[in-house]
Structure 1
């Protein structure tokens, strides 16, 4: 599977798979974990929003650092902080301790721009759709196993079981940070040492950097922030509460099985990526997101089979849209700006996650089905907006 790939790509994808395997035990149940301890679904949304807000602040710095101090150092330092945050989650017992864990987790994600930029640097342009599809498979395929264990731990041992899951994930993630430090090689030829002036420059120049990006990247960031990822983040974060607590159709172990089984669909994304790669991106992007919008409505049937089919479709369509977006960014962005471009793309994810978890918590409290309907509506609107945006840049994919 990894034949002909640069060592950096192999290390990043394999370590990403093991990271997902370890974090996938407890992290998919984060909203349930916080709710069980605090007794308030809104608090679960606030904690997630704090994490996303912190991440938005540091992701800007991460994009700047990826283009200045290089790709490697942000990757292994951020991975270590991510592991430390999971350990804090495992020991948390009240709102302030959850906030501390969320802040640490939010800071850790500053390495994401460097992660994707290193993949771009280490991969030929004509292989990017396949590589980014494979990256998403490596990130999500371990969920065919890990959440089942997490659901079993929650049903069998309650909150204590999930505590163990978070601590296990934290320890393994710290070890992965060491692997990345040892095996990755820097792809930026001229790197600089970090200093306080960089911190100042990163934030004072954020609007200049954003305006310096391609028109396509700028509007893709806005579309993801306010529409697409707002919808997707809201749906995924509250799906476990909807399926187990509202619909009552599955147990926590059953939900873990649904997450695990639906993750297998990511394997279908790889051969489908070869099909998508034959077309200009606008039309596949339109239909993929429309399918996501329709798939989310299946949750209204309130059956375990509907949940499973919905998650299957959402996963495979999401993997392909992710690959299209990342390939588009690479096509219109030079190497010296890729870190910052990826910074803004990741920023859009966490801005959307902030809106989704915070507003989603309020919508869910009004009526869980309303959250499903809002998700579907936003995705369908976003599908047509994305089509119009990508249609103007078809020549970049020739």
Structure 2
């Protein structure tokens, strides 16, 4: 693993992992500030819209001016989001913070391309799994700490403390990226070259137009992200309001998911490198509906814990498989734009699905958003099975 890959592994694990103090309880915090489920979906829409609007432009800049500037500045901007949340007294005050938080994902094409450039071709999925394993350490411990903190001091007071800790940690991670990352790629162009808007737009979408495998992957990821967007926002609401879990118990569930990640992500990465990308993505998409449906039938903490831990194992498999697949099908000069498309198209699904989930919950029933998620994942699996070809 090269220098940049190591620096990104550490700073991303710390700077983004600290967010697991607040993200498992974010929906409860918003609802406690007087918002409805529809408003919760609206905030998710703003977050997603900001992300998807800039994914392809950032991907284009990544392939044109290099990776480091975007990685450093994007992380710095995002680090101010928790401070906005800390000062909010009404749900409307959260909107500027939501926009700032979007920069965490806006610069994903630059981070992913820089990491991809620094790993060996034959160990790509394993390398991505390694950084995800470090990330899982935080996803295991932070929700447990956050859950017990909120139980002890209350939701609002506890979340404000969490926001301060998260903001400071993200600032320090941004400083680490600025000091230790090295630019290892920049697309050279003539100083007099001033491409037209039409040419820029055409170049942004060039990988999508020319790579058929990418087209299939994008459509499958879009369907799968419809499922993920609903699950991310409403599982934490369904667990206490329908199943009857406490905040601390949900924190333990999130911690159990993190523990599963620590134990399984490196072996999963090695298996993906050995058996291929297509079968890995297909396995993830096809098996998740079983656990999504089982979640709606759970009646207590133990059942939810086991179901969510098993679900997290299969939910994860598709992530390093897709990240490695992008490197397999896209040249180094295309990776920023390809990752931009991979983040933008599923991002559209992540943006609209929370509002769709709120509509189904309020108009049909609390379990129906999860039934919809299961169906979307099944359709994604069918698409991958029929149309995706394993890269040579």
Bucket of the pairwise TM-score, normalised by the shorter protein:
over 0.9
Q: Structure 1's 281 and 23: CA in aligned 2 closer, same or farther, altered over 3 A?
A: closer
Partner SS for 1:17: helix
Matched, 1:215 2:191: no
Residues 282, 388 of structure 1: 8 Å contact kept: no
Task: Tell me what 1:133 maps to.
Answer: 129
- Give how far 1:31 is off: 1.1
Tell me the distance in 1 between the aligned counterparts of 2:77 and 2:177: 13
Aligned residue-pair number: 386
| Equivalence map 1:1-398=2 (5 Å) | 5-156=1-152, 157-190=154-187, 200=197, 204-205=201-202, 208-225=205-222, 227-248=223-244, 250-266=245-261, 267-302=263-298, 303-366=300-363, 367-390=365-388, 393-394=389-390, 396-397=391-392
Q: Which runs of 5+ in 2 are unaligned?
A: none
Tell me the distance in 2 between the aligned counterparts of 1:292 and 1:47: 26
Residues 129, 324 of structure 1: 8 Å contact kept: yes
- Give how far 1:203 is off: 6.5
The two structures have a TM-score, normalised by structure 2, of 0.92
**Moved beyond 6 Å, runs of 4+:** none
Residues 237, 357 of structure 1: 8 Å contact kept: yes
Q: More displaced, 97-106 or 303-312?
A: 303-312
- Give how far 1:229 is off: 0.7
Q: Structure 1's 345 and 94: CA in aligned 2 closer, same or farther, altered over 3 A?
A: same
Partner SS for 2:344: helix
Tell me the distance in 2 between the aligned counterparts of 1:193 and 1:95: 48
- Give how far 1:336 is off: 0.7
Tell me the distance in 2 between the aligned counterparts of 1:162 and 1:332: 42
> Once superposed, what is the RMSD of the aligned Cα atoms?
2.2
Partner SS for 1:205: helix
Q: Structure 1's 232 and 199: CA in aligned 2 closer, same or farther, altered over 3 A?
A: farther
What do residues 308-365 of structure 1 show as CA deviations (whole Å, max 9, x unaligned)? Answer: 2222123222222111111111111011110000001111332121122121121222
The two structures have a TM-score, normalised by structure 1, of 0.91
